Amino acid sequence: MKFLLGLLLFSLLVAVHYGLAPYCADDAYLHFRIARNFVEHGVPFFNPTDAVMSTSSSVWTLFLSALFKIFGVTISAVAISNAFFLFMLGIVASCLAVKASLLERIMVAALAVSIVLPSSIQLMETPLALCLMLFGYYLYNSGRSFGFALLTLAAFTRLELSIFLLMCALDNLFLRRIDCRQALFTIVLCALPLVMFDLYYFGTLIPQTVQAKAVIYSLTIQEFFGIAWLGLFGKFIFFSFPLLSLAVVFCAVGCLAWWLVSRQLQKETAAFSREHINLFACGLLIFLTYASKRVYIFPWYVPLYSLPLLLPVCLHYFKERSFPLGLAVALFCAAPVLQAGRDTWSAIIGKASLFSEYEGGVRALTYRGVGMELSRSCPQCQVLAAEVGALGYEFNGDIEDAAGLVTPMAVAFHQQLPAHKNTIGGIIPPAMVKELDPDVIVGTPELLELVMADSELKQLYQWNRKALVETEAQGPTLVIGLPLKNSGTDKAVAF
């Protein structure tokens, strides 16, 4: 029975990932290009001649490279891999529900899968990172030193998850579940090859993405919490029922207060297990770190803190069976479960526009179309863009990244921009265009606002608007900046 149920769930996840893979995130294509260059040119760089650490995930880069080496550069292989990682994540989450019934284990697995599903469909590294983290955490609490190896791999897959590695290392100093020397040896043995890999190819352990995003996104604390609120409920619920989402939060917080007060009146203390406290604390620390730095929370960031926050509360409910706590858990978990159900349904009926991250996927597809056009008409052109993932997946030539993730010099130009102009991130600085004098500029009207308004650049470029993707909803319009005949370029670009 369990085997058939597991096989059914895995088959469903594969179908959902495969059906919605064309609508993956633009950032996913950035990883694909890096891995492809590693396979074809032997260097894990976005541009083969630029030794820039454009990815913050060494483990994901190596995994994709191995996958592409075996199966070729195919997005379908990544989609099936993510379905497997998400399936394993659900199994590990269910194993944390000690002494729970089969139905309760299924509920825990469903919650974990629901929280991570959108980012997994976007073909990001989040499901692999959380699978490694949760499995490593489970093994550590079982007294197995191999857990530290998985926690180390998780930290090199998503930097935020190094908090879990540190927490378990400190916890082990007090509890001595594992011999400290053995634990340290395991961590060093696992981390050393990855450290050597980063230093050999990039000469640093700090990804360029971390340095660039700290500059190009200039969020106020109110904007940060607005984006965090959106991430908690998902775009469909947040934009369709904003007042309902507000009411749900107030009701859930009220239920938690009711539960805590009732325990105090009964002179009882909540018997939280150390494992649940540590898991919850790590999730809270990740969120507070984001808040302190006012990080722009992308959809694939949300599960990194929401899963560790919601999972232990859900597990504690199964242990205590308190009505107000159960009601709070149901309210907090309803949004990700409903969103995952809607995403799954969109794949089953073949209506991709119901997918929660559909707009971002169509945007990436539009960039891919522009990349194909550039590959045909001007494969040697120097291209400047602010969103380079999907564009670079189709266009093999060098691309200068105005957002600074690939091109470090862009960061200095962003520091010269007014803060309010940089809230959306990636807006193309006119000074950078003048410095590089690219053959082609690609971006949305919002990202090219300052460039198109510059009087000097108006004399050098003509602006063509083109929407190359027509789906159930009209794809976004990109603006292509092409050199005028009198600009001195000998490149011919046909659009």
User: pLDDT tens across 296-331, in order?
Assistant: 899 999 999 999 999 998 988 888 788 888 888 888
Going by pLDDT thresholds of 50, 70 and 90, the confidence category of residue 4 is: confident
Q: Is the pLDDT of residue 46 over 90?
A: yes
Q: Is the pLDDT of residue 486 over 50?
A: no
By mean pLDDT, which of 17-31, 72-86, 118-132, 232-246 is the weakest? 232-246
Which range, 218-222, 346-350, 471-475, 485-489, has the best average confidence (pLDDT)? 346-350
Average pLDDT over every residue of 266-289 = 82
Span 177-218, pLDDT tens digits:
898 999 999 999 999 999 999 999 999 888 888 888 878 887
Going by pLDDT thresholds of 50, 70 and 90, the confidence category of residue 21 is: very high
For the chain, what percent of residues have pLDDT higher than 70?
A: 92
Going by pLDDT thresholds of 50, 70 and 90, the confidence category of residue 128 is: very high
φ, ψ at 462 (rounded to 5°)? -110, 145
Tokens describing residue 15: 């179908």
Going by pLDDT thresholds of 50, 70 and 90, the confidence category of residue 452 is: confident
The 10 Å CB-count burial string (b at 16+, else e) for 178-212 is beeeebeebbeebbeebeebbeebbeeeebbbebb
CB 374 within 8 Å of CB 383: yes
- Axis crossing angle, helix 302-320 with helix 102-121, rounded to the nearest 10: 170
pLDDT mean across residues, the chain: 87
By mean pLDDT, which of 14-18, 45-49, 265-269 is the weakest? 265-269
Average pLDDT over every residue of 225-233 = 85
Q: Pairing mode, if any, of strands 440-443 and 478-483?
A: antiparallel
CA distances 485 to 8, 430, 432, 463, Å, are: 60, 20, 21, 13
Tokens describing residue 349: 């009926």
Q: Is the pLDDT of residue 262 over 80?
A: no
Q: Is the pLDDT of residue 229 over 70?
A: yes
At residue 116, the pLDDT reads 96
Going by pLDDT thresholds of 50, 70 and 90, the confidence category of residue 239 is: confident
Q: Is the pLDDT of residue 422 over 60?
A: no
At residue 132, the pLDDT reads 97
Going by pLDDT thresholds of 50, 70 and 90, the confidence category of residue 459 is: confident
Q: Is the pLDDT of residue 485 over 70?
A: no
Q: Which tops the pLDDT comparison, 220 or 389?
A: 389
Q: Is the pLDDT of residue 160 over 80?
A: yes
CA atoms in the 13 A half-sphere facing the CB of 197: 21
Give the Cα separation of 55 and 57 in Å (integer).
5
At residue 218, the pLDDT reads 75
Neighbours of 418 (CB within 10 A): 8
Going by pLDDT thresholds of 50, 70 and 90, the confidence category of residue 492 is: low
Q: Is the pLDDT of residue 465 over 60?
A: yes
Angular region, 117: left φ>0, alpha ψ -120 to 50, beta rest: alpha
Give the Cα separation of 155 and 141 in Å (integer).
18
Pick from 393, 336, 383, 391: nearest CA to 366: 391
CB 17 within 8 Å of CB 83: yes
Tokens describing residue 159: 């930097």
By mean pLDDT, which of 44-48, 128-132, 314-318 is the weakest? 314-318
At residue 175, the pLDDT reads 87
At residue 473, the pLDDT reads 54
Pick from 315, 329, 288: nearest CA to 141: 315
